[in-house]
Amino acid sequence: MPTITTDDGTTPARRDSPYSGLPNKLARAANHIDYAYRDTSPTPSGGVPLAFITAMDLGQVDLLGFSIGSFVAQQIALTRPAIVRRLVLASAAPQGAAGMHGWAPEVIGAIGEPETSPQQYLEVFFSPSSSSRQVGQEVLGRIYARTQDRDAVTTWATREAQYDAVCTWGIPNHALLQRLSCLKMPVFVANGDSDPMILPHYSYLLTGLIPQARVKIYPDSAHGFLFQHHADFAADVEAFLSDPR
């Protein structure tokens, strides 16, 4: 069963993610395809990755969405539920949830500018604790270890368009929350307990809205919890995907 990962493709941890540890572990556990999502439309849409899945003739897949990629994964599961066997939503929130209209000022200050630094990345993707920041430094070392054949840096125009999509997704609309009740496949929802970009209480909200959802919050971690806890997260995803229930 192929496992498709959708992410936003805008951060170093994802552009050169083989060096963050997680994709390698997922690839060992499943037929894993990493789809770096770089759509510049103002609304998160599953159309492009859905067309990719169709063109590849993959049939039914397991789908893992991270950050804005989790919005895309929700759209795919809602638009064509028959192709999604199991769904993993990491650092996710439902469309229309209150308080999701834009990032907090400290997040905008750290990564919402044309030029960002490794230190600013650490402030959003890892918790303030010394242990989390130490792991973050190790992740940065792996990200920048490759000096040749690196992915092209995402343009500022693309990053602006994706933030527009985040804000569009977060426009308060209580009625949109009810869409998720129609998802019948098993869903694993996960986040870090200190994520400043997509707050962990949205993970609990998702779990309450989706009939067959379960949730896990990883300790002492932020938006990059799946890089910090890559071994545990990969093991949890593997266990979820292989669960016979």
pLDDT digits (tens, 9 = 90+) for 100-119: 998 888 898 888 888 888 88
Q: Token pair of 5, please? A: 């990962």
Which pLDDT belongs to residue 77?
Answer: 95
Which pLDDT belongs to residue 63?
Answer: 92
Alpha helices, DSSP H only, in 92-179? 105-111, 118-125, 130-143, 156-169, 174-177
Which pLDDT belongs to residue 30?
Answer: 56
Which pLDDT belongs to residue 87?
Answer: 97
Tell me the domains of the chain and their CATH numbers: 2-242 (3.40.50.1820)
Reported as a single tens digit per residue, the pLDDT across 219-232 is: 999 999 999 999 99
Which pLDDT belongs to residue 237?
Answer: 94
**Which ranges of the chain have pLDDT less than 50?**
12-19, 42
Kindly report the pTM of this predicted structure: 0.88
Nearest to 173 by CA among 78, 102, 103, 97: 97
Which pLDDT belongs to residue 27?
Answer: 57
